Structure 1
Amino acid sequence: MITIAANKDWLSLAQKALNGECLTLEDGLAVLEADNDEVLPLLQAVYRVRQHFYGKKVKLNMIINAKSGLCPEDCGYCSQSIVSTAPVKKYTLLDKDTLLAGAREAMARKAGTYCIVAAGKGPTDKELDQVVEAVKEIADTMPLKICACLGILKDDQAKRLAEAGVHRYNHNLNTSKANYPSITTTHTYDQRVETVEKVKTYGMSPCSGVIIGMGETNQEIVEMAFALRELDADSIPINFLNAIPGTPLENAGRTPAMKALKVLALFRLICPSKEIRVAGGREVNLRTLQPLSLYAANSVFVGDYLTTQGQEALADYQMIEDLGFEIEMCAL
């Protein structure tokens, strides 16, 4: 059992992060287990790190659910999995014109990154052909960064995506290695790590994050942050479980807003220079404290998620403006 000493010198942890030093497990636990009265001083310190690397810029990302509800995996959090009874839309991979229309919508919403996400263990060659065809046209005609999230990749598939113009590949770790078997049994934590390493080999920027609220301990949350630091993920989406009726985790409670802020602060301190994105479930879990999340995070999804709704884009624009921040436009 690790004993947590009182640690209210958050500025020293921020300086440690700025110096390139990794927090200890004890440091990380101190952040997560801080009294709620410490959240504002903690965010003040963490903002020094965020501002150093990103100033007042906020990156916007938009998702298109390119294939829905036909997944053979048993991920307990997902409404599209084979074990889910949630009433979600089911359709095969969207055609090129629909994917292109999604890219245009991403630009209209001021997103710099367009995320093509398809449910499944991994893409078939036919599905990959469709994605590659769309990506090539988007890359040739629109000033967008393209992120693909298609599951576990073969080497030749990773190579083709990179050559087509995919800038970033997302494959989340989701939870800790120890907690993984309680969430998913149809693939392993190590397979996810291997996929992230593979996309790096082919020159795509690695995007990998977590879902908070799936029964993990505070120590496991710190270990998840350490794992992503070790993987050198460039973009880290922090999702907070939105428990969907019909999924195995439907009765999981929401993460308290103050706890969610501490989690975001932790990931900023452990992965100081990386894009920290407050992602799925932010509206449900952070509620009225969403603006405070951007003192640690520098990126959000704009619009809807895969099978759940996000808040109106105008509300995000207003939140960013009211904070005195500004949207970072795409620069390829």
Structure 2
Amino acid sequence: MVCFEELKSKIPRGYKLTKEEALLLLNLGNTEIVELFSLANTITRRYHGNIVDTCSIVNAKCSLCGEDCSFCAQSVHNHTNITPYSLMQTADLVDLAKCGEDMGATRFSIVTSGLSPNQKEFGSILHTIKQIKEKTSLSVCASIGAITGKRAAMLKDAGLTRIHHNLETSKSFFASMCSTHTYEQRINTVRIAKESGLEVCSGGIIGLGETPADRIELALALKKLNVDAVPINIITPIAGTGLENIVPPSPLEIIKTIAVYRLILPDKSLLLAGGRESGLRSLQSLALISGANGILLGNYLTTKGQSPQKDLQMIADLGLTVHSYV
């Protein structure tokens, strides 16, 4: 039996939801989930008000990555129809950042495929960060794979605010998704970024074949690492990948997961990210009043998103407002 009123009182006082409690909440039936969603929304408003964080990303380098992540369309071990290209020029990335700002994003993330950029690419990324900071009011983020302490310091000096580096799933399940690097390596990158004074955006993908316990294990790992933001992606089965035939979870199951993540991570930003359109379908707006307080605008790495105008209208219709740094 879940006492929602008790959790409503205890969580703001620092109560940490146990794994057993979280699993119980994930397994609630449809007659009880409205109370769960309401509690998650109450906690969200207490910590984040009516503000929705918005960001946009660019796939700045799309190459056949040597890592074997089974869900990824950019892995050389999968057989997809993506068209690879080298790192984009600074001027083009600045133009895309301006487009992101114009469509309502307050953050812009430079994303590159591969385990880590080479020295020439890294130098170009540093220059691009400086140019975006100079020519926009955006907070600049980067998702460039594994980083060293030295590179983290250089990124921060260039004006980078936040590193994005997903854990993807639980430690228990990760090895079944990827064998070319370890979960510990991913955690190490998160720790390096935090120790360097950078914010960290780290989350995962729902629907890889993981169990409810795996989802809770991931949330607890992110809490332990004290990440700043958690993007919640939903699997989009892509032909040619190892998960092309997987059946994604139902929209309500996804929103239950988001709601429970909010109770585990009350003060963190939870962002609806890749796969939300196909995964949540007509329930996207429900997720924004059931624990999520952020949204990725525009397109994703290898899949299309819905129009930013539609997203901004959805946010306004809920009585929420977009975060602004201006």
2:17 corresponds to 1:23: yes
Question: Contact 1:149–1:169 at 8 Å: present in 2 too?
Answer: yes
* Maintained 8 Å contact 2:104/2:308: no
Partner of 1:89: 83
Identical-pair percentage: 38
Give the secondary structure class of the aligned counterpart of 1:276.
Answer: strand
Q: Distance in 1 between matches of 2:163 and 2:53?
A: 17
TM-score normalized with structure 1 length: 0.96
CA distance in 1, matches of 2:164, 2:280: 23
- Is 1:249 the counterpart of 2:247? The answer is no
1:125 aligns with 2:119: yes
Q: For residues 267 and 180 of structure 1, what CA distance do their matches in structure 2 show?
A: 19
Note if contact 2:103-2:309 (Cα within 8 Å) is conserved in structure 1: no
Aligned-residue offset at 1:13:
2.3
* Aligned residue number for residue 181 of structure 1: 175
Q: How does 1:1-332 map to 2 (within 5 A)?
A: 6-7=1-2, 9-295=3-289, 296-331=291-326
Q: Could you list the runs of 4 or more consecutive aligned residues of structure 1 that deviate by over 3 angstroms after TM superposition?
A: none
1:319 is aligned with what amino acid? Answer: M
Is the contact made by 1:257 and 1:287 (CA closer than 8 Å) also made in structure 2? yes
What's the CA shift for 1:219?
A: 1.1
What's the CA shift for 1:330?
A: 2.4
Q: Secondary structure at the match of 2:140?
A: strand
Normalised by the size of structure 2, how large is the TM-score?
A: 0.97
Name the CA distance, whole Å, in 2 between partners of 1:269 and 1:12: 12
Deviation of residue 45 (structure 1)? Answer: 1.0
Write the deviation string for residues 181-229 of structure 1: whole angstroms up to 9, x where unpaired. Answer: 1001111000000000001111110111011111211111111110000
Cα gap change, 1:39/1:130 in structure 2, threshold over 3 Å: closer, same or farther?
same
Is there any run of 5+ residues in structure 2 with no aligned partner, and where?
A: none
Contact 1:16–1:23, Cα closer than 8 Å, also in 2: no
The alpha carbon displacement at 1:142 in A equals 1.4
Q: Is the 1:113–1:330 contact (alpha carbons within 8 Å) kept by the matching residues of 2?
A: no
How many angstroms does 1:37 deviate by? 2.2
Distance 2:307 2:46 in 1: 29
Q: CA RMSD in A?
A: 1.0
The whole-number CA distance in structure 1 between the counterparts of 2:19 and 2:248 is: 25
Instruction: List alignment gaps of at least 5 residues for structure 1.
Output: 1-5
Equivalent residues, number = 325
Change (3 A) 1:11 1:246: farther
Distance 2:116 2:32 in 1: 43
